[in-house]
Amino acid sequence: MSKLTGLLSCCIVVIFFPIAGVAQDKTISEIKKDSQKSGEIVDSVFKYNAKGWRKGVILSLNFGQGSSSNWAAGAEHSSFSMAGYATIFANKKKGDFYWNNTLDLGFAMQKTSSQGSRKTDDKIDFYTKAGHKLNDKWAVAGVLNLRTQFADGYEYDYLGKGLKHRISGFMAPSYLLLSPGLEWTPANYFSLMISPFSARWVIVTNDPYSYYYPDGQIPLPDGGEEKPLAATYGVNPVRKVAFEAGAYLSANFLKEIVKNVSYRSKLDLFSNYLGKRDPYTDEKISSKPQNIDVYWTNNIIMKVNKFLNVTYNFDLIYDDDVKQFGPNKNAARTQVRSLLGVGISAKF
């Protein structure tokens, strides 16, 4: 994992959607100049109002369909996928002060003739950052970030018996981060937030036990006890909340890399200084700050025309507390997900 973290930390070609408002009495050239200093990316679709706010919504809806008949090599008789994404932002800039707010939403489903309907993507990511510029490249800033999902997620071969078992849901888990620090913006398409001391809460609500069998007792001949849902995320199911404190780094990148092709990326790294508690016994466990949590999202948008886009999403997550993998379902693993879609988009 240390190699993965080192690789990701080095390739911090990553970024956010930094956009900030400016007062209406400034000229266009002044607005552009200030925008470049604060890491803002100017888009003529979104205008400034009289109070210095810049707000907007970016929507996209992607579709996929496939079918086969008497296909010797084997294929689904029919498949259909749909994915919807929305980015909502409201940002303000007044003098050296800026306040950026972004809500990223996403949900995708796939239906096949053999497996029925299954969720392939689901995210709620709220990010708010307020800061005060010290000079053209540095600022003192604070971040509040909440990540969770809309709907339940399932394991479809629970205990190797083909059972459908709930393994996640709304606010199960959710991650709440509060982080003060310094922000470095060397270019108008890149920013880096560094915080040596941050607080993070891992929350698992909405039935943190989530057993398949009554009281979690697996019937014979297998026998044994089921693992509570909260425990798979390192949270005691009675407490429902685990507190962590440590270092936080957030790198954001957004740029048109070639004509009509934009790349947006965000990398979050978190190292927990505190010792953890066993989710079953509540006993304290020694801290392992070298086990860095990684949350990396990437989005490539290839614009065909005003409304038609080809999009590619790639997400990578590593969390040492999420122990749902391996032969015994008690190990952490690097989680990878990607989606390619063709669809329509709009800006408001």
Give the model confidence (pLDDT) of 210-245 as tens digits: 999 999 999 988 889 999 999 999 999 999 999 999
CA 47 to each of CA 51, 52, 85, 96, 138: distance values in angstroms, whole numbers, following the listed order: 12, 10, 22, 20, 26
- CA dist., res. 107 & res. 121, Å (int): 5
CA 288 to each of CA 10, 189, 204: distance values in angstroms, whole numbers, following the listed order: 21, 34, 22
Torsion angle, CA of 51/52/57/58, rounded to 10 degrees?
Answer: 160
Instruction: Tell me: pLDDT of 99 over 50.
Output: yes
The radius of gyration of the chain's CA atoms, rounded to the nearest angstrom, is: 22
CA–CA–CA angle 194, 197, 200 (5° rounding): 100
pLDDT tens-digit readout, 19-78: 333 333 344 344 344 444 443 444 545 666 778 798 999 899 998 887 777 676 666 788
Residue 22, Cβ density class (10 Å: 0-12 exposed, 13-18 middle, ≥19 buried)? buried
The answer, as to whether pTM is greater than 0.85, is no
pLDDT of residue 3: 43
pLDDT tens-digit readout, 114-156: 888 999 999 999 999 999 999 999 999 999 999 999 999 999 9
- Helix-, strand-, coil-residue percentages of the chain, each rounded to 5: 5, 55, 35
- CA dist., res. 248 & res. 192, Å (int): 11
Element (H, E) at 242: strand 241-258
- CA dist., res. 332 & res. 6, Å (int): 18
**Domain locations along the chain:** 2-54+62-68+77-293
Instruction: Identify which of 249, 226, 209 has the alpha carbon closest to the alpha carbon of residue 159.
Output: 226
Instruction: Identify which of 189, 105, 120, 199 has the alpha carbon closest to the alpha carbon of residue 153.
Output: 120
